[in-house]
Amino acid sequence: MTDFRSSMLEIIRGDIPDGLLFVPRLDIWYNRNKSRGSLPPGYENLSLIDISSKLGVGYHSVIPDFIRSVPLEDLYHRALGVYNNPDFPYRVDFSSIDFTVEKRENELKVTYYTSKGEITTRINFGPELFDSGSTIPEILEPAIKSKEDYYRLTEIFSKIKIYSTPEKYRIYHDRIGEAGIAVAFLSLACGPMQHIMRDLRKYDEFCFDIYDNPSELDMCAEPLGAIYEEMINSVSDTNAEVVLFGANYDETITYRPFFEKYIAPWLNRAADKIHSYGMSLLTHTDGENQGLLGSFKECRFDIADSICPAPMTKVPFEEYRDFFRDRATIWGGIPSLLLLKSHCSEMEFRDFIHKIIEKGKPYDRLILGIADTTPPDAEFNRIKYIVEQCSKINI
């Protein structure tokens, strides 16, 4: 069995490997096809980690399955953007918060009670969510619907406590073993402001608030910042090699001035602390990044996860390769749409793979993957073709 963990860590350190490593994200593809009974022949009864082994690829373990791997109560506060998972290096304590939960057919409704009034949230949860293959519930009703809700959330976040759980992370690390890197999860949002933007407020309303209600945003961000500091500190006692902090950057949504004011400082704060622990920082850069490359120059993360090049975005793979070569490891490079017959012919697909194999040389700081994830209807033979082409490479 290939020791993918060691090989990946060598690449992240900047060593030139013997070949091109392929570590695709397959979880949503697996979940959906398992639920509809359409896994490929010979793979029907295998776990995802066993499928990766049989294919001869590294096991992708970056984003947890928030739905299938947790008790229901760990999802109650998903719409607050703060939740629990057995694999996290920390646990969020909500015991000081007064709330009730109503489970409906396809959703969870949570009502929070504060001294300043109530807040309600709803997320989707039920058979349709499980069948879809998704790994995190969608927020149907966000927490912030008025200016007053910022005051209520400030009270809630001030009561949340974070406890380090290194023993839980070690169980996860041992479970993944040599199949891949057990990435320690901190947060999908990169700091308080992106947290409010992505999880607590509808985007258009957030854009108005950042100009019309900046004091309320700053007020809510303060206790959130304390939570983030504790999350980052939680990995200090673990044996993690790589830590995930921040996700989903896009030149339109997390536009450059916003990124540089609110996201980059938190990325660098996390990077400095994580580096002091002897670990590497991974951030999930999936999105349209052309307008953000200039901002990335000032960031100190080590792994740009889920890099998605043209034709799915505006940045060609070779431009990404040149930009990141001396800065960070690229994990990704293959747009997910190329795995679909409906979007790409076999000739176009193979031509892209041949070009990325050629332009990626000498493969230092490059882990090939499918960005953002392998779609449920991906052609399995195309996945196998990538494996076959990587196996033929000899430097």
> Does residue 395 have a pLDDT over 90?
no
Residue ranges of the alpha helices (H) in 256-393? 256-258, 264-276, 293-296, 317-324, 346-359, 380-391
For the stretch 251-273, pLDDT in tens is 999 999 999 999 999 999 999 99
Cis check: omega of the bond before 265, within 30 degrees of 0: no
Which pLDDT does position 57 carry in this prediction? 97
Task: Tell me the pLDDT of the chain averaged across its residues.
Answer: 96
pLDDT band per the 50, 70, 90 thresholds, residue 130:
confident
For the stretch 53-99, pLDDT in tens is 999 999 999 999 988 878 899 999 999 999 999 999 999 999 999 99
Using a cut of 0.75, tell me whether the model's pTM lies above it: yes
pLDDT band per the 50, 70, 90 thresholds, residue 394:
low
Which pLDDT does position 183 carry in this prediction? 98
DSSP 219: H
Beta bridge partners of 331: 305, 367
The share of the chain scoring above pLDDT 90, in percent, equals 93
**What is the rounded distance in angstroms from the CA atom of residue 39 to the CA atom of residue 380?**
9
The share of the chain scoring above pLDDT 70, in percent, equals 99
Residue 209, SS3? Answer: helix
Mean pLDDT of 151-157: 98
Q: What are the residue boundaries of the structural domains of the chain, listed by start? A: 4-91+163-391
**In terms of residues, how long is the chain?**
395
Residue 61, SS3? Answer: coil
DSSP 339: G
**What is the rounded distance in angstroms from the CA atom of residue 326 to the CA atom of residue 323?**
8
For the stretch 277-292, pLDDT in tens is 999 999 999 999 999 9
For the stretch 159-210, pLDDT in tens is 999 999 999 999 999 999 999 999 999 999 999 999 999 999 999 999 999 9
Class of domain 4-91+163-391: alpha beta
